[in-house]
A and B are shown apart, each in its own frame.
Chain A
Amino acid sequence: MKKWLLCALAGLSWMLVACQSSPETTDESEVANRPAPQTMPFAVYDNFSALEHVFHYNNDTTYIINFWATWCKPCVEEMPYFERLIQQVQGKKARVILLSLDFKKDVPGKLTRFVEQRRLESQVIALTDHRYDTWIDKVDPSWGGSIPATLIYKGQNRKFVEQQFASFEELEALVKAFE
């Protein structure tokens, strides 16, 4: 009886693990250290596929990726939470990325000014691929397309939140669950 249950449990665990996709490990320095084109203080991608590996690092770092835009009021409102989180996770294996979905035309002016004026601690990446339907599901199939939205992941463990955080503590608790 005991053996049978153990087998069932093992089988179930295997199923749960096997259901997850296992993307290849990529060297993260490739994106992090890529020089920003032109004179912008961040990298700009007009093609999601060039950025896709950022969503699939397979290591022991927790990645907190926030989708935002300068035109999105609730996004800008919750941005201090992410900046505070950076301080909080210092020395820990965690990385915060503010992934801007600003329009291509706003990247050199509005977005660049925003990032410079706020002196953001978090790494900023701009993604201007407007063929949204080709990549939204690759971030998370449950994503309806609204921002703010935040993906937190470590290895195969993923959590996607399609709403504004009500407080820093709410964000902090979610990230802590990954430690």
Chain B
Amino acid sequence: MLNVRKITLLTVGLLALAAATMAFRTAGGLKVGDKAPDFKLKNVDGKMYSLEDVKDANGKKPKGYVVVFTCNTCPYAQMYEDRIADLHRQLSAKGYPVVAIQPNDPAVQPGDSFAKMQERAKEKKFDFLYLFDDGQKVYPQYGAARTPEVYLLDKDLVVRYHGAIDDNAQDASAVQTNYVTNAVAAIEKGQEPSPADVKAIGCSIKFKKS
């Protein structure tokens, strides 16, 4: 006789599998509209910073934050280095300073050690915060997968835009759409950024395999 219990188990199993698959699809990181967690991380100047400590170019409490996960070593991040500095110059004056976070584990990627971060910041005269996610506690909370990857937060730390900086990594002069500056302009007009989430290729964030 066909075992009824076996069939029941199989049905339950399939249902669980379907549910797990769906959960997997929707899991992972902050989505546009989610509130981002604040953090306390060491800047290249040796001081600890939280988002609540950050001021814009006018010395005022920011209207938003361009949180960007980036690093020294990734060729993509390097191609965006000057553009990130430009973003800060342009947007901090409008109330949206850049807050860069280096998420790689230096044990895996020695070029991303805190000392190397300091070196790079000095060399390139970074005037934005370049924070070290020491212990890699912050990037998993955001769900960042690659460098560079932007989370544009409003003053309430709600994610309003997520993803690429612009639409041409290889050639800054051939950029057609500046997603982050457009998103800030939309927020300033009281509108929702569109697109609000743009995927791009980047380097995987380096962590130790357990």
Q: Which A residues form the contact surface with B (CB < 8 A)?
A: 1-2, 5-6, 8-9, 12-13, 15-16, 71-72, 74, 101, 103-105, 130-133, 136-137, 141-148, 162-164, 166
Contacts and interface: CB of A to CB of B under 8 A. Distances in A.
Given A9-B10, A144-B146, A166-B209, A133 B202 contact: no
Contacts of B199: 132-133, 136-137, 143-145
Contacts of B15: 12
A9 B167 contact: no
A72 B75 CA distance: 8
B146 A146 contact: yes
A15 B11 CA distance: 13
B81 to A, nearest CB: 15
Nearest to A136: B199
Contact of B2 (A2, A101, A146, A147): A2
B7 A132 contact: no
B41 interface: no
Given A2-B7, A147-B201, A133 B167 contact: yes
B75 A71 contact: yes
Contacts of B25: 141-142
Nearest to B25: A142
Contacts of A101: 201
Interface string B133-163: 0000000000001100100000000000001
Nearest to B2: A2
Interface in B15-55: 15, 18, 24-25, 28-29
Contacts of B146: 144-146
B201 A132 contact: yes
B145 A162 contact: yes
A74 B204 contact: yes
B200 interface: yes
Contact of B205 (A2, A13, A146): A146
Nearest to A12: B14
A16 B145 contact: no
Contacts of A9: 7, 10-11, 14
A71 B169 CA distance: 14
B145 A145 contact: yes
Given A145-B202, A146-B202, A1 B11 contact: no
A162 to B, nearest CB: 7
A145 B24 contact: no
B98 interface: no
Given A2-B7, A130-B169, A143-B199, 14 more contacts: A1-B4, A9-B7, A9-B11, A12-B14, A12-B15, A13-B14, A71-B75, A72-B203, A104-B170, A132-B199, A144-B145, A145-B146, A145-B200, A146-B202
B68 to A, nearest CB: 14
Nearest to A167: B209
A136 B163 CA distance: 12
Contact of A162 (B75, B167, B168, B204): B204
A146 B104 CA distance: 13
Given A6-B7, A132-B201, A105 B170 contact: yes
A127 to B, nearest CB: 10
B14 A5 contact: no
Contacts of B170: 103-105, 130
Contacts of B204: 74, 146-148, 162-164
